[in-house]
């Protein structure tokens, strides 16, 4: 089987976990830790993708300024100290685990492929947009899974007999 013949759906093992829009931060963090994920899709009640949560999205909750301001500050010449690396842990309270929900921290920018697309197409999209993950959506925008770069590499290595 040639790489163009390997489909995205052949690279995704098992069902991908997702969270609903109102999922509290404590549940998001627990799921990321338990499953060792670095990205979680966010879906609506019909399981249609509405966004994604990455570790960067979560850490932005604990930063004193928005990432947009930090990116703007990085363009200022001669600015030696940019506060974007400081986590503001002084204002963290136990209530944040319940009060901060997926809707508030998710990002809505993502790239997607179909389960029927080839891994060559998926890899091309990843390279073009410098991303390590793609959302896999069926024709109704219902979440099918998440495809990572490692999933593609593993599928190729499996095809070549390097791994079983």
Please give the CATH superfamily to which domain 3-61+100-159 belongs.
CBS-domain (3.10.580.10)
Q: How far apart are the first and last CA of the chain?
A: 15
Q: What is the pLDDT of residues 6-26, one digit of tens each?
A: 999 999 876 678 999 999 999
- pLDDT bin (cut points 50, 70, 90) of residue 84 is very low
- pLDDT bin (cut points 50, 70, 90) of residue 155 is very high
Going from the C-alpha of 93 to that of each of 6, 54, 60, 98, 100, the distances in angstroms are 47, 21, 16, 10, 11
């Amino acid at each position: 089987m040639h790489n163009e013949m390997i489909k995205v759906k052949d690279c995704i093992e098992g069902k991908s976990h997702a969270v609903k829009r109102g999922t509290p931060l404590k549940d998001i963090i627990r799921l990321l830790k338990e499953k060792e994920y670095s990205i979680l899709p966010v879906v609506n009640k019909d399981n249609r993708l509405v966004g994604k949560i990455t570790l960067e999205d979560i850490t932005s909750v604990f930063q004193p300024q928005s990432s947009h301001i930090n990116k703007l500050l990085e363009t200022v010449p001669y600015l030696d100290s940019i506060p974007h690396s400081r986590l503001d842990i002084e204002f963290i309270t136990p209530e944040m685990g319940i009060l901060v929900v997926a809707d508030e921290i998710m990002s809505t920018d993502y790239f997607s492929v179909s389960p029927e697309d080839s891994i060559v197409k998926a890899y091309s999209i990843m390279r073009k947009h410098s991303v390590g993950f793609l959302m896999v959506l069926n024709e109704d925008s219902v979440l099918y899974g998440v495809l990572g770069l490692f999933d593609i590499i593993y599928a190729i290595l499996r095809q070549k007999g390097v791994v079983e």
